[in-house]
Amino acid sequence: MAYRDIRIIGDPVLRTACDPITSVDATVKALVEDLLETVDEDGRAGLAANQIGVSLRAFSWNIDGEIGYVLNPRLVELSEDEYQDGEEGCLSVPGLWYPTERAWYARAEGTDLDGRKVVVEGEGLMGRCIQHECDHLDGHLYLDRLSRRHRVEAMRELRKRGL
């Protein structure tokens, strides 16, 4: 296992949709180990494979003491009448937190390393994490979901930081 560096905004891998995992080999097993080790740090809720430079559909999470992963996740359900608009940040956009509207509840389905079906679901922070990481796997950052005013502010701050 290896703790991996986080790719930062501006890296093209973050803006590219990830490829599905078609077979589980040593490379995919090592990726999962790296995702689990890298997300296992205080303040980290989730981590998509492209955030560590691997353009494959997988993410890990670290919510309320539970650490896990899913391969080839796809969002299958979002609450339609309950939303959250809390502050959201991203390891790939360090130090910036903005109100980001998300569904209160999210459910994703995928598989584990043995090909068994995995259901990842939750409300609040877990719901936000599932949506955030699936966005990453589709080549999107949370900044894309910001209101116009907050997006302009975030872009200004990023330019100031040279990112």
Query: What are the angstrom distances between the C-alpha of 95 and each of 63, 65, 158?
Result: 20, 23, 10
Angstrom distance (rounded) from CA 79 to CA 130: 13
Catalytic-residue membership of 133: yes
Angstrom distance (rounded) from CA 8 to CA 118: 29
DSSP H or E stretch at residue 103: strand 102-103
Angstrom distance (rounded) from CA 116 to CA 163: 40
- In this structure, what DSSP letter does residue 16 have? S
Tokens of 93: 């956009």
- The closest alpha carbon to 158, from 134, 138, 142, belongs to 142
The active-site residue, picked from 77, 82, 133, 157, is 133
Catalytically annotated residues = 133
